Structure 1
Amino acid sequence: MADSLALSGRQAFETLFLQGWRSLRFGLGLLGAYTATHVLGVLWSRRYLPPGPFPLPIIGNFHQLKPLPHRALQEFHRQYGPLITIYMGSRLTVVLGSPEVVKQTHKDQGDRFTHRVLTDFARISLHADEEGGKNVALAGGKYWIKARRIFVQELMSKKFITTHAVPKIEEENWSTVDAIRELGGKPFDPHFYLQRLSLNIVFRLTYSLRFGRDEITQENSKFQELMGVINTVVKIGGTNVMANYIPILKIFNFGLKRRQIETVAKRDKVLFQMLEEHKRDLNLAKPRDFLDVLLTRQKAEGLSDREVMLIAWECITAGTDTTSATMHWMTLLLTNHPEIQRKAQEEIDRVTGGRPVMLDDQPKLRYTDAVIKETMRLQPVVPMMVPYRTVENIYVTSEGCQYCIPRDSQVLVNGFNMQRDPKNWRDPDTFDPERFVTGPDSDIEIRGSDAASDPHHLKFLPLGTGRRACAGYALAKAELFLQGATLMQSFEWKPPPGVSKIPMGESFGIAVSPNHFEVCARYRSEAVTAPLQTGGLR
């Protein structure tokens, strides 16, 4: 009886083992078949695509892009060439990494690179329709043409910049200088001061709003309300972004879309309130700010209140982080390179004679201007342009081979790679403003849609190029020069006691900023002899 039970137990075990083995073999067979199908599918689909790293199922190459995508892509360019293919989840993405390739796409075929990629949250936030979002950067079709035309004609005109924008920029610059001077040279984090500077400029130009030093710390102030809106939109906009590329992740959203809609509704309520306030006080003959200008053109252009609101709001979202991050990098680089700092200050002192820097000084302050350009080359705060979407097959030649960028592909322009490529620049990883003063690169300027078509100029694109270049680049150039030159004129930037050099770590976000650091700023009273032109602002 015992032998019989042992035999039956052994037979049961063998049966279970065989069944398990068959199931395992079947599962391994399915996995092998899926893997083989995936590999063959990728190889077949890439016959005419640019080269690139092999993608994994479902996630594509996402695992290879963290934590700093622009640097990961730079390594891919070194391995595979200036034109590469990656997969962001299931989304085929072609990355352009040389001025020669960008010339073919954005200059020779510029009319084919006007469509944008919209995330799920962008569609909600910008109330998108079939033409795209209701702003300038992510709009499409006839609406984009109209919105960009208004933006450029009104906000980027020479008259607006010189008579309306520059005086406000100068006042805010010197108000910030006064605030930093009050610190008495003690170590501090410049991020707060530089962000407030940029915020006040764009809010004054757009809404005639300004936030004083005391108001920033007050509870329930207008500043706290608006910053709460901005921070909430940014936070929820960055939640589960990968679900746009890996759809299966949407099952983990757990009410995310509802929260996104609620967040946008709260933002719109605040913005509509400001819109109504402007309507009540509007003087058609004397607009105070960009929102007033939009209201004066609203009827003639056929703009809804929501479209007016979103075009104005874009000035805030596009014009704050990028400018403040550039100045953040500049102060860090000047602190680590005192000899470059001294050379710029000597030039400023010689030209200004102690008076505040003015926009008209820019042609005479070539080295000072070069410091700003070199900051933007070495540490671009937007290392990759806003993604494009192709609506037809596009053919591009790279390194003697012709490749096809298929319809409905995502296209990225890797400006970081072009601005750090030794084929384009001498000692590309060195902070050397002199390259923009003498030598073969001295004729390169910060440009946008008017950039020259030759690769020599297309290797430096901090504000983009082609039809979708930064619409506000004329104002951005003026603001960057005035901010940068004023900060160089006013302070000697030094590391805190006991620190020889500040680390150059990066934080990837809306703009690529340096990791938080502290610096000492000694006020150069011997160089700024005229009274600070703060306009009484604090």
Structure 2
Amino acid sequence: MAFLQDYSTGVLICTFILLLMLYHLFTGSRNEPPGPKPLPLLGNLLKLDVDRPHLSLLEMAKQYGSVFTVYFGPKKVVVLAGYKTVKQALVHHADEFGDREIMPLFHDFTKGHGIIFANGESWKEMRRFTLTNLKDFGMGKRTFEEKIIEETCHLKEEFENFEGKPFESKQLMSYAASSVISAIVYGPRFDYTDPQLRNRVDRANESVRLSGTASVQLYNMFPWFGPWIQNWRLLMKNLELDIKEITDTVEGLRQTLDPEDLRGLVDSFLVRQQTVKESGEKDSFFHEQNLIFTVGNLFVAGTDTSSTTLCWALLLMAKYPQTQRRVQEEIDGVIGARQPLTEDRRNLPYTDAVIHETQRLANIVPMGVPHMTSCDVHFNGYFIKKGTCVFPLLTSILWDEEEWESPHTFNPSHFLDEQGRFVKRDAFLPFSAGRRVCLGEGLARMEIFLFFTSLLQYFRFTPPPGLSEDDLDLTPLVGFTLNPSPHKLCAVKRF
């Protein structure tokens, strides 16, 4: 009996010591960024809205300043808030804040390969290769524009098939954006009825949604829970199907490869593989895993960001019909009935302002993609250790009250001067900045402009019968990116 009492006392003492160690570990040194006091193991979870953590972090920034520390469970994170602070870190201290924090879920997705959730020489080589080939295949040039214009024609036909009746636009927008990526990566586009395209888009949309759920965020904090979390199991199932599909498609392209007639980025990668093999080079980064995950990264990122932005844009047009009418009057006056082109942007200042304001207000990647410090950093008077996870809080830039006159309302005038001319704003950073800026920014900007102007030229978007503009809800869905809540709109032909 005495032995059991001594054993129990020993366990209690050890537990107390462990809790003290965790507490001191959490509180850190005096010159580290401030933040709320964490609880052992739970960190600051009780102070966070795990469904919408970016809003909780915005409130914390008001109390602790533009550089502060918060604990997602046992995970220490330094948050950067506000335009000036984020730009200073990502642009002026690009090397120090330039690594990627690869959280457990991101590691599950890519195992450190590809171009988004990777670091070191492999990431540099894959990013350099991808950028070079996107430019070679026409990013920012007429050839890219032609692929997107072709897709706008298919999308308009799909919208027209609804004959002005209510429908959800998310899937069709995703099909269009994914088909553009297919044309760039593989060569041919996919028809919207193709089961491969439909399944890929459905899985991608589901994975983006699941990645932002509370249970998956808890998995990132406590990865040993993985096998018991249903959403994590669904994500791994989707990943397995994605890998098989990409592998099969790549193998088909390999069998029909003609080095003198490259169809897309995959062909370029396969040719580089052959060159490396023939040269006898060892430890090359041009291996199958980098190919598979680079292709996967391009499809998910290229499909979700553009389609989500366009869904927000159409919803806002239906919500604010006066803005929609003004956009259409400008398009009618400048373009008329011909196909909109990228070069028209400079003559459509109000339309361009509406697109930029949509991206600003929609704030679709609110916390950015996590960074990690590559070395010890002295920043804004604080010491941040090497290997610290850093959140560049993009919400705090796009909604920065010091940068925007009415940050929480839809106001295209943010991007117009008194004469109605378009004005660039330094704090417009929806694609982030620095070494990790979105490499598909040029493609996304062209896609969004051409799709938006083509659709607004041809259709008037309204709420379904029986609903008013006030009934359209702008509350976003929970997810890694912020999509509009499920809704239907009517696309009414203008002529």
Is the pair's TM-score, using the shorter chain for normalization, greater than 0.5? Answer: yes
The match for 1:267 among 234, 239, 242 is 242
Contact 1:435 1:441 in 2 (8 A): no
After alignment, is 345-354 or 223-232 more displaced?
223-232
Contact 1:206 1:312 in 2 (8 A): yes
The match for 2:149 among 164, 167, 170 is 170
Partner secondary structure for residue 480 of structure 2: coil
1:298 paired with 2:298, answer: no
Question: In the alignment, what sits opposite 2:280?
Answer: none
1:243 paired with 2:213, answer: no
- For residues 53 and 22 of structure 2, what CA distance do their matches in structure 1 show? 25
- Pairing 1:500-515 to 2, within 5 Å after superposition: 500=468, 501=470, 502-515=472-485
Calculate the TM-score normalised by the size of structure 2.
0.87
**Aligned-pair CA distance for 1:106:** 1.5
**Aligned-pair CA distance for 1:231:** 6.5
- For residues 107 and 149 of structure 1, what CA distance do their matches in structure 2 show? 19
The match for 1:192 among 157, 171, 196 is 171
Contact 1:65 1:73 in 2 (8 A): no
Amino acid paired to 1:282? L
After alignment, is 197-206 or 378-387 more displaced?
197-206
Contact 1:105 1:113 in 2 (8 A): yes
1:434 paired with 2:413, answer: yes
**Aligned-pair CA distance for 1:104:** 2.6
Question: In the alignment, what sits opposite 1:524?
Answer: 494
- For residues 51 and 444 of structure 1, what CA distance do their matches in structure 2 show? 36
Amino acid paired to 2:72? M
Contact 1:124 1:260 in 2 (8 A): no
Question: In the alignment, what sits opposite 1:352?
Answer: 335
Contact 1:156 1:472 in 2 (8 A): no
- Pairing 1:66-465 to 2, within 5 Å after superposition: 66-126=50-110, 128=111, 133-157=112-136, 159-213=138-192, 215=193, 221-224=195-198, 226-227=200-201, 230=204, 240-247=216-223, 249=225, 252=228, 264-300=239-275, 302=284, 303-397=286-380, 402-438=381-417, 445=424, 457=426, 459-465=427-433
Question: In the alignment, what sits opposite 1:49?
Answer: 32
Contact 1:87 1:93 in 2 (8 A): yes
- For residues 251 and 26 of structure 2, what CA distance do their matches in structure 1 show? 54
Could you tell me which runs of 5 or more consecutive residues in structure 1 were left unpaired when the two chains were aligned. 1-18, 446-455, 526-538
Contact 1:329 1:379 in 2 (8 A): yes
Contact 1:98 1:418 in 2 (8 A): yes
Amino acid paired to 1:414? L
Amino acid paired to 1:203? S
Task: Sort the Cα spacing of 1:271 and 1:428 in 2 relative to 1 into closer, same or farther, 3 A.
Answer: same
- Pairing 1:35-46 to 2, within 5 Å after superposition: 42-43=26-27, 45-46=28-29
Cα displacement string for residues 411-456 of structure 1 (whole angstroms, at most 9, x for unaligned residues) = 01111111112111101112111221216997764xxxxxxxxxx6
Cα displacement string for residues 492-536 of structure 1 (whole angstroms, at most 9, x for unaligned residues) = 1111223222011111213210100111221111xxxxxxxxxxx
- For residues 348 and 236 of structure 1, what CA distance do their matches in structure 2 show? 38
The match for 1:486 among 442, 454, 476 is 454
- For residues 489 and 418 of structure 1, what CA distance do their matches in structure 2 show? 32
Partner secondary structure for residue 522 of structure 1: strand
Contact 2:90 2:98 in 1 (8 A): no
Task: Sort the Cα spacing of 1:250 and 1:27 in 2 relative to 1 into closer, same or farther, 3 A.
Answer: same
**Aligned-pair CA distance for 1:482:** 0.7
Question: In the alignment, what sits opposite 2:279?
Answer: none
Partner secondary structure for residue 69 of structure 2: strand
Task: Sort the Cα spacing of 1:275 and 1:39 in 2 relative to 1 into closer, same or farther, 3 A.
Answer: closer
- For residues 413 and 521 of structure 1, what CA distance do their matches in structure 2 show? 37
Cα displacement string for residues 258-316 of structure 1 (whole angstroms, at most 9, x for unaligned residues) = x9877655433322221121122222222122222322333446412332232222210
Question: In the alignment, what sits opposite 1:5?
Answer: none
- For residues 430 and 334 of structure 1, what CA distance do their matches in structure 2 show? 14
**Aligned-pair CA distance for 1:329:** 0.7
Give 1 or 2 for the bigger CA radius of gyration: 1
Contact 1:384 1:415 in 2 (8 A): yes
- For residues 224 and 103 of structure 1, what CA distance do their matches in structure 2 show? 38
Partner secondary structure for residue 521 of structure 1: strand
Q: Between the two proteins, what is the percent identity of the paired residues? A: 28
- For residues 134 and 28 of structure 1, what CA distance do their matches in structure 2 show? 44
- For residues 263 and 293 of structure 1, what CA distance do their matches in structure 2 show? 27
- For residues 134 and 30 of structure 1, what CA distance do their matches in structure 2 show? 41
Task: Sort the Cα spacing of 1:440 and 1:355 in 2 relative to 1 into closer, same or farther, 3 A.
Answer: closer
After alignment, is 173-182 or 511-520 more displaced?
173-182
Partner secondary structure for residue 76 of structure 2: strand
Partner secondary structure for residue 86 of structure 1: strand
Contact 1:113 1:389 in 2 (8 A): yes
After alignment, is 74-83 or 204-213 more displaced?
204-213
Task: Sort the Cα spacing of 1:168 and 1:436 in 2 relative to 1 into closer, same or farther, 3 A.
Answer: same
- For residues 332 and 373 of structure 2, what CA distance do their matches in structure 1 show? 50
- For residues 33 and 518 of structure 1, what CA distance do their matches in structure 2 show? 57
Partner secondary structure for residue 71 of structure 2: strand
Task: Sort the Cα spacing of 1:380 and 1:118 in 2 relative to 1 into closer, same or farther, 3 A.
Answer: same
How many residues of Structure 1 are paired with residues of Structure 2 in the alignment?
479
Task: Sort the Cα spacing of 1:228 and 1:462 in 2 relative to 1 into closer, same or farther, 3 A.
Answer: closer
Task: Sort the Cα spacing of 1:432 and 1:278 in 2 relative to 1 into closer, same or farther, 3 A.
Answer: same
- For residues 234 and 520 of structure 1, what CA distance do their matches in structure 2 show? 26
Contact 1:104 1:396 in 2 (8 A): no
Contact 2:23 2:40 in 1 (8 A): no
**Aligned-pair CA distance for 1:344:** 1.0
Give the alignment's Cα RMSD to 1 decimal: 3.3
Partner secondary structure for residue 100 of structure 2: coil
Contact 1:113 1:390 in 2 (8 A): yes
Task: Sort the Cα spacing of 1:429 and 1:436 in 2 relative to 1 into closer, same or farther, 3 A.
Answer: same
- For residues 31 and 157 of structure 2, what CA distance do their matches in structure 1 show? 59
Partner secondary structure for residue 493 of structure 1: strand
After alignment, is 382-391 or 263-272 more displaced?
263-272
- For residues 116 and 409 of structure 1, what CA distance do their matches in structure 2 show? 10
The match for 2:436 among 465, 468, 474 is 468
